[in-house]
Structure 1
Amino acid sequence: MTITEDIKYVGVNDHDIDLFEGQHQVENGMAYNSYVITDDKIAIFDTVDAHFSEEWLANIKNVLDDAKPDYLIIQHMEPDHSASIGIFMENYPDTTIVASAKAFTIMKQFFGCDYAEHQLVVKEKDTLELGKHTLTFVAAPMVHWPEVIMTYDSYAKVFFSADAFGKFGALDVEEDWACEARRYYFGIVGKYGAQVQALLKKAAGLDIQTICPLHGPVLNENLDFYLNLYQTWSAYEPEDKGVLIAYTSVYGNTKKAAELLAQMLVDKGCEKVAITDLARDDIAEAVEDAFRYDRLVLATTTYNGDVFPFMREFIESLTERNYQKRTIGLIENGSWAATAAKVMRQLFEKSKEITFTETTVKIMSALNEESTTQLENLAEELCK
């Protein structure tokens, strides 16, 4: 793939992976992106997962032929981007490795070697001249690891953005960018909204025409769309008006209540209604939708004086990612001592700008006339 006349793509697609980072389902695989700038000096941007080292080296050879790289720029030390450093240095032993000081520390932790004789340590606003291309380094700590440094090429107006602006999915699969980028963002980067906001302020001062992330496609059209989504996501603002109903159900009664509420909301003209079974559906997609919409309904049973485990896991997945600025409705089910609503409220105690609906639906074992009326009231309140 050609990015510009001097910048080529040399990454790989992984269709063998089932869980990214050991937890996120990736039915369409993953891309591990790597790039080459050829100029008076040659720079390689990042490596790939160890399982694809040979394919990656062949891609580099195809671009460079017999030329030798001068620099290997390591922007991010997660092994899906750094695990091929060793084999690269075996093939190109005279290369200088460019990275942040923290990256070299983590490099030694992972691989037992930091290539001390080949180091070029860079920090915020340092530059590297390749010829026509001048690279300026942009520190991006905790987007989403502490060592991350991104790179701006002022000649080509290309921003090499490490894991920012990435998405799930291999590059040889056609799919909607926003859906998988949103799931990727909130699953992996979502906790670090303040750090992403700081990065966006830096990016706003750069003339960027192309974004080259370490996952997902190269972005070179309608960049405002992607930047605006990142602005919305990192500020924890709702992206769309709508309601996610997330439920767990043991004998089907809480499920019936969740489905009935969903129908009530549709009948009342709610903009968008999504529903998810937390025991069976992909929890990462549920997290994605919870951040996407401005309203959330949690429906669960009392379980051992607490809430059903999948519900607790879901709420903790939200709160650890700084879930905020949302309206939440609660539905609890209990056959003798219903405590689920109280526990769920407590789980959000440290969350900012959470508004609970006035109506809390209380089901005793199964829906009856009283709890069905409460559902109607909750639907009416959510649709105001």
Structure 2
Amino acid sequence: MIRTRSVTDDMIWVGAGDRRLALFENIFPVPRGVSYNSYLLLDEKTVLFDSVDQSVSRTFLENVSASLDGRSLDYIVIDHMEPDHCSVLEELLSAYPNAAVVGNAKTFVMIEQFYSPLAEARRVVVRDGETLSTGRHCLKFFTAPMVHWPEVMVCFDESNGVLFSADAFGAFGAMAGNIFADELPIQQEWLPDMRRYYANIVGKYGAQVQSLFKKLSGLDLKTICPLHGPVWRTERDITWLLEKYTLWSSYQPEEQKVVIASASIYGNTEAAAERLALELAGLGVTEIEMYDLSATHFSYLIGEMFRCSHIVLSCPTYNGKIFPPMRHLLDDMRELNLQSRTVALIENGSWAPMSGKLMTAELAAMKNMTVLEPAVTLKSSMKEEQAGQLFSLAKQIAGGLKRSL
């Protein structure tokens, strides 16, 4: 049974959603599932833009076959060779023996790494800025290395302003019939998953995203078709989307807000973090989020840190080192290139508190991170003198928030 929607007069969404998947890339929780988007252009030449993950291959292949309605498939454009977008490539090549694969030189290297070598007659190699005519449509290709793999490219349809954006502008979450952003509660439901997707999947490569923006700056974008998440087709939504990506890729916070990440063994370190939150609230700070690192997947914290201007890290010493959940978070903050934030620290240790010093050293390896001094040091549990120190730290944070408004 066909399950598709028209995107333009002659282009069809032939993707599918997976609501059974628990972990995207076997790392990131996706409680709302994920969509795998693919698009079929029915011009004088037929063009399929990317494919899908093996988990939804049956639905996808049925959609492609029904949408072609007896026509042959001429081209398969591969914007991104990651398996969740090309797992069905060999089935497509077998089902449509006259189809040629369109990609850049690195695309075909990766095809041979994942699958069998592709005959030269079935290869169409495109370079940055080159075009391919399909009849009424003219497709222009732009390489986008490291957004977020080295072979990535995007494709712009010069005839109607459609950008096939690969993993850029994607989001976690499976769609339910409504595939367009203007049909969905983007701000309420989709923005957190868009941000978490960007921060954890693409976040390390902000400079490369900015480079892609320069290539696309002169284009009249009418529609953006990513490989995950909603399709963007209104000027207002596209403007908003580009503004978000500009902030994220330049590592500027979206909001003047405090996120408190607490890792605690017996609850004493968390109690100090809660006291800090109360002091902040008492000083008039209303935008506070608090998370227990042992109960919340690190990807949610990374998403929040891309959003918030101020971060509090509250952590005990463990075997003379940083408590492992906090260590994992700090590793990801560094690897995903988080920068330009103000950070406050709470450390704990029953005989040799070391986590504050060690966290400071980790933050020093990140760009433009302002660490508030002094850190609040606990020995086993919070005492009255720490209450005053927490109030002083809250005043520093609150003062910084007010200056940033």
TM-score, reference length from structure 2: 0.93
* Residues 233-272 of structure 1 aligned to structure 2 (within 5 Å): 233-272=248-287
Q: Shift in Å at residue 51 of structure 1?
A: 2.5
Residue number in structure 2 paired with 1:170: 174
Residue number in structure 1 paired with 2:396: 381
Q: Check the 8 A contact 1:241/1:271 in 2, yes or no.
A: no
Q: Does 1:342 align with 2:346?
A: no
- Which residue, out of 210, 213, 216, partners 1:200? 213
Paired amino acid for 1:315: L
SS in structure 2 of the partner of residue 93 of structure 1: coil
CA offsets per residue over residues 32-56 of structure 1, 9 Å max, x none? 1000111111100001112222211
Give the Cα–Cα distance (whole angstroms) in 2 for the partners of residues 256 and 51 of structure 1: 44
Residue number in structure 2 paired with 1:358: 373
Give the Cα–Cα distance (whole angstroms) in 2 for the partners of residues 114 and 186 of structure 1: 34
Give the Cα–Cα distance (whole angstroms) in 2 for the partners of residues 330 and 55 of structure 1: 50
CA offsets per residue over residues 142-191 of structure 1, 9 Å max, x none? 00000011100011110000000000011118662211010000110000
Give the Cα–Cα distance (whole angstroms) in 2 for the partners of residues 383 and 337 of structure 1: 30
Give the Cα–Cα distance (whole angstroms) in 1 for the partners of residues 233 and 274 of structure 2: 42
Q: Check the 8 A contact 1:105/1:114 in 2, yes or no.
A: no
- Which residue, out of 115, 133, 136, partners 1:132? 136
- Which residue, out of 195, 198, 209, partners 1:182? 195
Q: Does 1:275 align with 2:301?
A: no
Give the Cα–Cα distance (whole angstroms) in 1 for the partners of residues 11 and 217 of structure 2: 23
The answer to which of 37-46 and 266-275 deviates more is: 266-275
Q: Check the 8 A contact 1:359/1:377 in 2, yes or no.
A: no
Give the Cα–Cα distance (whole angstroms) in 1 for the partners of residues 325 and 79 of structure 2: 36
- Which residue, out of 211, 216, 223, partners 2:224? 211
Q: Shift in Å at residue 202 of structure 1?
A: 1.6
- Which residue, out of 40, 45, 59, partners 2:63? 59
Q: Does 1:19 align with 2:34?
A: no
Q: Check the 8 A contact 1:246/1:297 in 2, yes or no.
A: yes
SS in structure 2 of the partner of residue 2 of structure 1: strand
* Residues 24-39 of structure 1 aligned to structure 2 (within 5 Å): 24-39=28-43
Residue number in structure 2 paired with 1:74: 78
Q: Check the 8 A contact 1:325/1:353 in 2, yes or no.
A: yes
Give the Cα–Cα distance (whole angstroms) in 1 for the partners of residues 296 and 55 of structure 2: 29
Give the Cα–Cα distance (whole angstroms) in 1 for the partners of residues 283 and 125 of structure 2: 59
Residue number in structure 2 paired with 1:298: 313
* Residues 225-236 of structure 1 aligned to structure 2 (within 5 Å): 225-236=240-251
Q: Check the 8 A contact 1:53/1:87 in 2, yes or no.
A: no
SS in structure 1 of the partner of residue 192 of structure 2: helix
Paired amino acid for 1:200: F
- Which residue, out of 111, 119, 126, partners 1:122? 126
Give the Cα–Cα distance (whole angstroms) in 2 for the partners of residues 310 and 320 of structure 1: 15
Give the Cα–Cα distance (whole angstroms) in 1 for the partners of residues 154 and 286 of structure 2: 39
Q: Shift in Å at residue 339 of structure 1?
A: 0.7
Percent identity reads 42
Q: Shift in Å at residue 271 of structure 1?
A: 4.3
Q: Shift in Å at residue 115 of structure 1?
A: 3.8
CA offsets per residue over residues 61-86 of structure 1, 9 Å max, x none? 22110001110001100111001010
Give the Cα–Cα distance (whole angstroms) in 2 for the partners of residues 109 and 349 of structure 1: 38
- Aligned length in residues: 384
Q: Shift in Å at residue 111 of structure 1?
A: 1.1
Residue number in structure 1 paired with 2:160: 156
TM-score, reference length from structure 1: 0.98
Give the Cα–Cα distance (whole angstroms) in 2 for the partners of residues 62 and 268 of structure 1: 62
SS in structure 1 of the partner of residue 121 of structure 2: helix
Give the Cα–Cα distance (whole angstroms) in 1 for the partners of residues 282 and 260 of structure 2: 15
CA offsets per residue over residues 188-235 of structure 1, 9 Å max, x none? 000000000011122221100100000001011221100010000000
Misfit runs of 4+, over 4 Å: none
CA offsets per residue over residues 105-141 of structure 1, 9 Å max, x none? 1111111323433000111111000111100001100
Give the Cα–Cα distance (whole angstroms) in 1 for the partners of residues 20 and 338 of structure 2: 33
